[in-house]
Chains A and B, each alone.
Chain A
Amino acid sequence: MVNGLEKYFDRTFFVPEGIICWPHVSYFDAMVIFVSLKQTPFDEVIFGLDSISFINFGKSQKEIVDLIFQHFKDFNPKQENSNKIITHEVPIYYDMNGKDLAALSISLQMDKEEIIYKHQHSSLQVAMIGFLPGFIYLKGLDEAIISNRKKIPSPRIAPGSVGIAETFTGIYPIQSPGGWNIIGFCPIKLFDVQKKPAVNLKIGDDFRFYSITAQEYAKLNAHG
């Protein structure tokens, strides 16, 4: 294997139930590995922000290592990545009256308008889906608006809420408690188990928010 993935075999971490975890995987490799898994011999592959875990139920960890080796034997990152880059254009209603945005404005010492501008002009990319069903992590946030999570999580965050924390933007698919700083709301359902597939995003896709008004948000709101 001379495709740059050898190093991950050395770092393999074993987790119970025949789970293999590769920590510290580069984003580029995660992107191309994700694409390569259209035809997957694995029962589950879980992408973290810098890790990938492989599961095959009922198989030993050695058998999974062999499967991984087989799957990636002829793997060519450059070829896998020749797929066209997809850009998702997604509406957002930036809530200028939101509490979290006001708090961010103080902690970042930046006007609310500037925070929004910097968010909207960040080159966002899909990093992973995880945590909750359909919770989307986007990377590539403008460094000037990197923030900490809220010290005390909000007990109830509305579905469609868009928050920022650390270097990520997250989109809440369902009502949930959460600690991200909410800056706006996305009216469309990016994740819907009634649809096939439930989600149309893949790791590495570009993601761009376009701003809509409160009225447009109300009209488009699919969260009910």
Chain B
Amino acid sequence: MVRSTTAFMQVLETGVYASVQDGGRFGYLHWGIPHSGFMDKALAALANELVGNPEDAPCIEFYKNNLSIRFSKSAFVAIAGIQVSFSINDAIFSGTQSILIPKGGVLKIISLPHHNWAYLAIFGGFNSEEILGSRSMMKGVTTLDKLYKGMTIAYTHTTQVSMDLSISLGKEKEKDINVIPGPEYTLLSKSIQIKVFKKPLMISPQSNRQAYVLQGFDQEIPDAQIKSGYTPAGTIQLTSAGKMFVLMNDGQTTGGYYRIGFIDKEDIGRLSQIPFGDKVQFKMIEDIKL
């Protein structure tokens, strides 16, 4: 039998950035509301699966380390991240796994060495604010745009616990990120077309859930402007000053810069995990599957 009551977790430390995310908020792009949702859907789905939740159930998505949370009642949770290590009270654990946190227990993320984003899922789910069908935190939509130190989040406390599971996730081999041409790609001169994705580009540390900033191209493209049009997550924008951005899940819904390419849907999650400061090689796929 499952008994459930409401319990609270208190955020003791947020690390650089942490937020509640779920599968996303759909149907409101025409109001300028982006889809938001997990940066790495596959990894979040794994976290949810480890506690028996639907794959798009809300999780706490956190960047790197130092997230720290105290649980008012016992909680069956999963932490998913490549070679993540964390502590519960004084005990240290490493690797992706589901685990029972005792009443009053403090979870702290110690390190996430290779990736940007990792996930905390909880059996029963987070009861944070839901707006327009989603709990994904988003500035201008939800009351809070991210987790803040000291805040509390309600969750469903249950007595039912399935087995603790752990999964060994290896670091993925580096592969090119596939790109399909965007509407304004053909407006670039041939020489720019050849040059723009030729060399690896660095993902700037100024990147975030709105946009990944790419460094290393920097060639001015005079008059590279359009009338503001749709920019899905994964749009690669090129400004007239030669700056490049990949718009991510919380990115602007429309934009006036050239859309020179779109990241292949299958590769957006992998791109989101490339550490800030590392380089990425894009590869243009000319034959698009329609």
* A and B: interacting chains: yes
Which among A15, A131, A174 is the interface contact of B255 at CB below 8 angstroms? A131
**At the interface, yes or no: B203 with Cβ under 8 Å from chain A?**
no
**At the interface, yes or no: A13 with Cβ under 8 Å from chain B?**
yes
Which among B27, B228, B254, B255 is the interface contact of A44 at CB below 8 angstroms? B27
Asked if B228 and A131 sit within 8 Å, CB to CB, the answer is yes
**At the interface, yes or no: B234 with Cβ under 8 Å from chain A?**
yes
Please indicate the chain B residues that have their CB under 8 angstroms from the CB of A49 in the complex.
Answer: 227-229
Please indicate the chain B residues that have their CB under 8 angstroms from the CB of A43 in the complex.
Answer: 26-27
- Known contacts A43-B27, A131-B252, A133-B31; is A48 also within 8 Å of B140 by CB? no
Asked if A46 and B138 sit within 8 Å, CB to CB, the answer is no
Asked if B228 and A46 sit within 8 Å, CB to CB, the answer is no
> Beta-carbon contacts of A13-28 to B below 8 Å, as 1s and 0s?
1111101010100000
Please indicate the chain A residues that have their CB under 8 angstroms from the CB of B290 in the complex.
Answer: 14, 60-62
CA distance A14 to B180 in the complex (A): 11
Please indicate the chain A residues that have their CB under 8 angstroms from the CB of B188 in the complex.
Answer: none
> Beta-carbon contacts of B228-239 to A below 8 Å, as 1s and 0s?
111010100000
Asked if A193 and B131 sit within 8 Å, CB to CB, the answer is yes
Please indicate the chain B residues that have their CB under 8 angstroms from the CB of A132 in the complex.
Answer: 32, 140, 252
Please indicate the chain B residues that have their CB under 8 angstroms from the CB of A15 in the complex.
Answer: 182-183, 230, 232, 262
Please indicate the chain B residues that have their CB under 8 angstroms from the CB of A129 in the complex.
Answer: 30-32
Please indicate the chain A residues that have their CB under 8 angstroms from the CB of B131 in the complex.
Answer: 193
Nearest B-chain residue to A34, judged by Cβ:
B30
CA distance A121 to B252 in the complex (A): 30
Chain B nearest Cβ from A11, distance in angstroms: 11
Which among A53, A60, A133 is the interface contact of B229 at CB below 8 angstroms? A53
Give the tally of cross-chain contacts (CB within 8 A).
102
Chain B nearest Cβ from A14, distance in angstroms: 6
Asked if A44 and B288 sit within 8 Å, CB to CB, the answer is no
**At the interface, yes or no: B163 with Cβ under 8 Å from chain A?**
no
- Known contacts A130-B254, A133-B141; is A16 also within 8 Å of B29 by CB? no
**At the interface, yes or no: A57 with Cβ under 8 Å from chain B?**
yes
Please indicate the chain A residues that have their CB under 8 angstroms from the CB of B30 in the complex.
Answer: 44-47, 129-130
Chain B nearest Cβ from A152, distance in angstroms: 12
- Which residues in window 8-37 of B have CB below 8 A to A? 26-27, 29-34
- State which size class the interface on B falls in: 20 to 34
- Known contacts A44-B26, A61-B290; is A174 also within 8 Å of B140 by CB? yes
- Interface-centre pick from A13, A15, A50 (highest chain B CB count, 10 A): A15
CA distance A128 to B227 in the complex (A): 12
CA distance A44 to B29 in the complex (A): 7
Please indicate the chain B residues that have their CB under 8 angstroms from the CB of A128 in the complex.
Answer: 228, 254
Asked if A48 and B229 sit within 8 Å, CB to CB, the answer is yes
Chain A nearest Cβ from B256, distance in angstroms: 8
Chain A nearest Cβ from B187, distance in angstroms: 12
**At the interface, yes or no: B253 with Cβ under 8 Å from chain A?**
yes
Asked if A21 and B229 sit within 8 Å, CB to CB, the answer is yes
Please indicate the chain A residues that have their CB under 8 angstroms from the CB of B253 in the complex.
Answer: 46, 130-131
**At the interface, yes or no: A134 with Cβ under 8 Å from chain B?**
yes
Which among B27, B29, B180, B227 is the interface contact of A51 at CB below 8 angstroms? B227
> Beta-carbon contacts of A131-168 to B below 8 Å, as 1s and 0s?
11111010000000000000000000000000000000
CA distance A60 to B253 in the complex (A): 22
**At the interface, yes or no: A173 with Cβ under 8 Å from chain B?**
yes
Please indicate the chain B residues that have their CB under 8 angstroms from the CB of A133 in the complex.
Answer: 31-34, 138-141
Please indicate the chain A residues that have their CB under 8 angstroms from the CB of B264 in the complex.
Answer: 16
CA distance A57 to B234 in the complex (A): 16
Asked if A46 and B262 sit within 8 Å, CB to CB, the answer is no
Please indicate the chain A residues that have their CB under 8 angstroms from the CB of B33 in the complex.
Answer: 133
- Which residues in window 35-57 of A have CB below 8 A to B? 43-51, 53, 55, 57
Chain B nearest Cβ from A184, distance in angstroms: 20
Asked if B31 and A23 sit within 8 Å, CB to CB, the answer is no
**At the interface, yes or no: B132 with Cβ under 8 Å from chain A?**
yes
> Beta-carbon contacts of B123-149 to A below 8 Å, as 1s and 0s?
000000001100000111100000000
**At the interface, yes or no: A110 with Cβ under 8 Å from chain B?**
no
**At the interface, yes or no: B198 with Cβ under 8 Å from chain A?**
no
Please indicate the chain B residues that have their CB under 8 angstroms from the CB of A48 in the complex.
Answer: 227-230, 254
Asked if B234 and A16 sit within 8 Å, CB to CB, the answer is yes
Please indicate the chain A residues that have their CB under 8 angstroms from the CB of B227 in the complex.
Answer: 48-51
**At the interface, yes or no: A198 with Cβ under 8 Å from chain B?**
yes
CA distance A5 to B232 in the complex (A): 24
Interface pairs A-B: 5 shortest CB-CB = A48-B229, A130-B254, A133-B140, A49-B227, A174-B140
